[in-house]
Amino acid sequence: MTLLKTAMITALMGATAITAAPAMAKDLRIALQSDADVLDPDQSRTFVGRIVYASLCDKLVDITPDLEIIPQLATAWETSADGMAITMQLREGVVFHDGTPFNAEAVAANIARSQTLDESRRKSELESITGTEVTGEYEIVLTLAAPDATLMAQLADRAGMMVSPTAAEAAGADFGLNPVCSGAFSFTERVAQDKIVLTKFADYWNADAISFDSVTFLPIPDTTVRLANLQSGDIDMIERLAATDLPQITGNADLTVDSAVSLGYQGITFNLANGERGDNPWGNDKRLRQALSHAIDREVINQVVFEGAFAAGNQSFPPTSPWYNTNFPVPARNVEKAKALLAEAGFPDGLDLEVQVPNTTVQLQLMQVVQAMASEAGIRITLASKEFATLLEDQTAGSYTASQIGWSGRVDPDGNNHPFVTTNGGINDSKYSNPAIDELLNDARIVSTTAERKAKYDEAMAIMLDELPRVFLYHEKWIWAFNNKLKGFVSYPDGMIRLENVTWEE
């Protein structure tokens, strides 16, 4: 077997906590832009849910701020010479919040659940795993159908989050009502649209690195209200500070701002074949989707809505990404081309489009700008504002025509495309299906070199930009704001809030 990874990066994992001198424990309060969906790693899909999981559910592996994959519950791993098996060594002395031991049997049970639970969205992420073999209490071998360049990145996210097999078996699809993981904090209480409360887990394997007695997540969709609560001291930290609010923070001696460039995108997803509502002009004719794309000025969006803090975008990767297809740069607005495409499709007088949008301040502002731009080409957009979890439910059920939604991005490029556009993708709410896309994205998982993978993604992106099941708009920057008594916070491109070695100092 050839070594894939054996490095034990304990400094970042905090096996021995390094904290600043006198720090006090407290109840940390974090404001989220929206409420999380179901708290089950196999079923969930919201960005804010992943922020909660960062405190609730440890993963097999994690990432560094530089996107290097490092140990968490798995301490080392090797891949076979033919790439068809991965042997993992697991961390000893770990227990789930209900006392169930974490071991190789638990990992096998988690993988089986992700692959077989009817409601699981992780199936396509782990489809390369054809079997698991427990070869020791803390050793497991993952057998693969073919080499999978994406698998370790998948295990650094929800597919790698370990839940208690005991609790999962007892609860089934209702696991999210009382999630039981092995993270630094255990689930205590949830009030929908109000709060999620987690309590420090005394038996956490890395408990010395945790300084807070509890963490409470509070969904506050209005950016002005979020900021006011931070300024008043009612909350300690907010995720996704609006770029337009930066001037109010700058110069405030009591507050700190940190940021990182996102790995993902924001855009508009169309219903192409998801139920009866997929049978509509927008889902049936790519020329209409192309017309909308031409009607939008992405650079203006960045300046008007985000004061230039973000980046215009037209692909699932930002233009700064090595995976970006440079043959298709961000296009300039072309209203005449948009009108011509509408006429060609049989709508010379324009047509209506309903877009559902999260009920958050920034996303509503974004879509009002898109609405104004589209109207100049004859596209009459109406906005259906919805709480984010409701928006996702309707999107999953096919109860939508178009949806303003984004993706926080993944370390591996597969995560920004495969789940959304392959025929059986776990988050393919469009029900878009193209055999050529399936072949390209599946092949990109198994080819051996980065150059070969890049060629596959370039070819796939050319098709996606022609058929446009997703119209990409921009790439955001994660901006956190927090009380400056909070020390040790490190920003990550995945937007997560990791609390290891973070302290509160008066």
Question: Residues 307, 452: one domain?
Answer: yes
DSSP per residue, 43-68 = T---HHHHHHHHHH--BSEEE-TT--
| Strand, coil or helix: 352 | strand
CATH no. for residue 454?
3.10.105.10
**Average confidence (pLDDT) over 214-228:** 96
**How high does pLDDT run on average in the chain?**
94
pTM: 0.85
**Average confidence (pLDDT) over 46-53:** 97
**Average confidence (pLDDT) over 181-205:** 98
Q: Are 496 and 54 in contact (CB under 8 A)?
A: yes
442 CA to centre of own chain = 21
The DSSP symbol for 459 reads: H
pLDDT of residue 250: 82
Pair of tokens at residue 267: 């855009």
**What is the phi-psi region of residue 502: left when phi exceeds 0, alpha when psi lies from -120 to 50, beta otherwise?**
beta
In a domain, 223, yes or no: no
CATH no. for residue 89?
3.90.76.10
pLDDT band at 86 (very low <50, low <70, confident <90, very high): very high
Q: Are 341 and 335 in contact (CB under 8 A)?
A: no
Which helix (H) or strand (E) segment is 248 a member of?
Answer: helix 246-249
**Average confidence (pLDDT) over 232-241:** 96
DSSP per residue, 175-228 = GGGS----SSEEEEEEETTTEEEEEE-TT-TTGGG---SEEEEEE---HHHHHH
Range of the structural domain that residue 108 is part of: 2-15+37-178
Which helix (H) or strand (E) segment is 403 a member of?
Answer: strand 402-407
Q: Are 479 and 243 in contact (CB under 8 A)?
A: yes
Question: Residues 121, 270: one domain?
Answer: no
In a domain, 306, yes or no: yes
Residue 269 CB coordination number (10 Å): 25
pLDDT at 6 over 60: no
Burial class (CB in 10 A: 0-12, 13-18, 19+), 174: exposed
In a domain, 440, yes or no: yes
The DSSP symbol for 102 reads: P
Question: Residues 399, 272: one domain?
Answer: yes
Percent share of the chain, pLDDT over 70: 95
**CA pair distance 335, 338, nearest whole angstrom:** 5
pLDDT at 16 over 50: no
Question: Residues 7, 141: one domain?
Answer: yes
Question: Residues 290, 436: one domain?
Answer: yes
**CA pair distance 451, 17, nearest whole angstrom:** 40
Residue 43 CB coordination number (10 Å): 19
**Average confidence (pLDDT) over 468-474:** 98
**CA pair distance 185, 415, nearest whole angstrom:** 27
pLDDT of residue 5: 37
**pLDDT tens digits for 424-433?**
999 999 999 9
**Percent helix, strand and coil across the chain, each rounded to 5?**
35, 25, 45
In a domain, 139, yes or no: yes
| Strand, coil or helix: 437 | helix
- Backbone phi, then psi, for 130, in 5-degree steps? -100, -10
From 156, 178, 200, give the residue that closes a domain.
178
pLDDT at 414 over 50: yes
In a domain, 230, yes or no: no
pLDDT of residue 180: 98
**pLDDT tens digits for 360-385?**
999 999 999 999 999 999 999 999 99
Instruction: Provide the terminal-to-terminal Cα distance of the chain, rounded to the nearest Å.
Output: 52
**CA pair distance 376, 289, nearest whole angstrom:** 15
CA proximity to 498, closest of 70, 63, 27: 63
pLDDT of residue 24: 57
pLDDT band at 9 (very low <50, low <70, confident <90, very high): very low
Q: Which residue has the higher pLDDT, 25 or 334?
A: 334
Amino acid at 245: D
**Average confidence (pLDDT) over 233-256:** 92
pLDDT at 8 over 70: no
**CA pair distance 247, 469, nearest whole angstrom:** 37
pLDDT of residue 13: 41
Which helix (H) or strand (E) segment is 312 a member of?
Answer: strand 311-312
Number of domains in the chain: 2
In a domain, 199, yes or no: no
pLDDT band at 44 (very low <50, low <70, confident <90, very high): very high
pLDDT of residue 17: 38
pLDDT of residue 320: 87
Question: Residues 142, 273: one domain?
Answer: no
Would you tell me the crossing angle of helices 361-375 and 286-295 to the nearest 10 degrees? 100
Question: Residues 166, 279: one domain?
Answer: no
Map tokens 């050529």 to a residue: 436
In a domain, 346, yes or no: yes
**Average confidence (pLDDT) over 131-151:** 97
Pair of tokens at residue 490: 């490190």
In a domain, 212, yes or no: no
Dmax (CA) for the chain in angstroms is 70
